[in-house]
Amino acid sequence: MTTRRSHSANSRSGGPKYPRSARLNETLRAVIADELVLIDDERLELVTITAIDVDNELNRANVFFDSLAGEHGDDEIIAVLEEHRRRIQSSINRQIRAKKTPVLDFRPDQVIRSAERIDDILRADREQAE
């Protein structure tokens, strides 16, 4: 006897279909961002978690951040995030249902910074043209 699944049963969720890794990345981003607010460390006030990239084995998660401190503040922010890493990972472990919690690796988000540089160049070019 064969069982057939209806395509309409899958579409009842109403939300868009995302691969498991994308859902996990977004869930981790939200959990980490919320935990940073709860930590209430003034050194992290201007930090935004922009993206998460978890490897396929769920062993490591690259946590990308940006801040108003810019590139010159990256080293201090990474050090502060490392101070709170165990607490953040513990929060992840409590809030998500996964067999293991990835080890967090904090990195500045170079994509956002590159986009800002491009925007600055284009703005300067427009101003020169006027």
How far are the Cα atoms of 5, 12, 106 from residue 16, in angstroms, in the given order? 19, 11, 29
124: CB partners within 8 A, 6+ apart = none
94-100 average pLDDT score = 83
For the chain, the average pLDDT equals 83
**C-alpha 57: how far from chain center:** 18
pTM of the model: 0.74
User: What is the per-residue pLDDT for 18?
Assistant: 59
Confidence of residue 15 (pLDDT cuts 50, 70, 90): low
Long-range Cβ contact pairs of 71-80 (< 8 A, separation 24 or more):
71/108, 71/113, 74/108, 76/43, 77/43, 77/44, 77/47, 77/106, 77/108, 78/106, 78/107, 78/108, 80/41, 80/43, 80/44
Domain covering 18-129 in this structure, CATH number: 3.30.300.20
Give the domain ranges of the chain: 18-129
- In angstroms, the CA 118 to CA 62 distance is 24
49-70 average pLDDT score = 90
Return the number of other C-beta atoms located less than 10 Å from residue 113's C-beta: 14
User: What is the per-residue pLDDT for 3?
Assistant: 40
